[in-house]
Amino acid sequence: MPAQKKITVLFLCTGNSCRSQMAEGWTRHLKRNLVEAHSAGVNPKGVDPRAVKAMAETGVDISKQGSKSLDEIRHIEFDYVITLCDNAHKTCPIFPAKTRVMHVGFEDPPRLAEKAKDEEEAMAHYRRIRDEIRVFVDGLPERLFSEESGISANQQLLFESGIESFLNQMPKEHLHESDDREEDK
């Protein structure tokens, strides 16, 4: 049986320093058998040390990833380009017709951390965005196909987050009751 071809994805941000690096790291860690992940920036500026630290806390090492320009990866044919910030979305270059371009915006941890009182508060922003990106990556590649069907990735994330939040607020005994009813059938 021939091996299934991996979907090739580019995560694109302005600086390729934080969000796109996290998305590449999560994808390589969680979906390496299904997705070939790359990241780049429209104006690369180096990998953010706090992004490296936040990912390391989860056991994902992105310390060897580098900040890349689009020129450095132009030889790669992508199935999907996913912009993770508004600036990259607005300035995204044209890709070949077969490449699907979609936008899934996440807040900018460095910008959020500028107003932090201390390092721990700054890192809290990085951790939150790291975890939001993981939720998105967990849904790959299926989430990409739902985007093609008209459901945006952001809409799907909001829906999934809403369901998760609802379930987390629900008393545990109600969750077990429904489990018991399923067993009786």
Tell me the C-alpha distance between 45 and 11, whole Å: 15
Place of tokens 């590449």: 24
From 54, 85, 129, 133, active-site residue: 85
Place of tokens 């077969």: 98
Active-site residue identified among 92, 102, 122, 157: 92
Residue 120 — φ and ψ, nearest 5°?
A: -65, -40
Q: Report the C-alpha gap between 111 and 100 in whole angstroms.
A: 28
Lookup: tokens for 104:
């899934």
**Beta pairing partners, 7:** 35
State the catalytic residue, choosing from 9, 10, 12, 13.
13
> Within 13 Å and on the Cβ side, how many CA atoms surround 140?
29
Catalytic residue flag (residue 18) = no
Tokens representing 143?
């989430």
Cβ-contact 122, 116 below 8 angstroms: yes
Residues serving a catalytic function are: 13, 85, 92
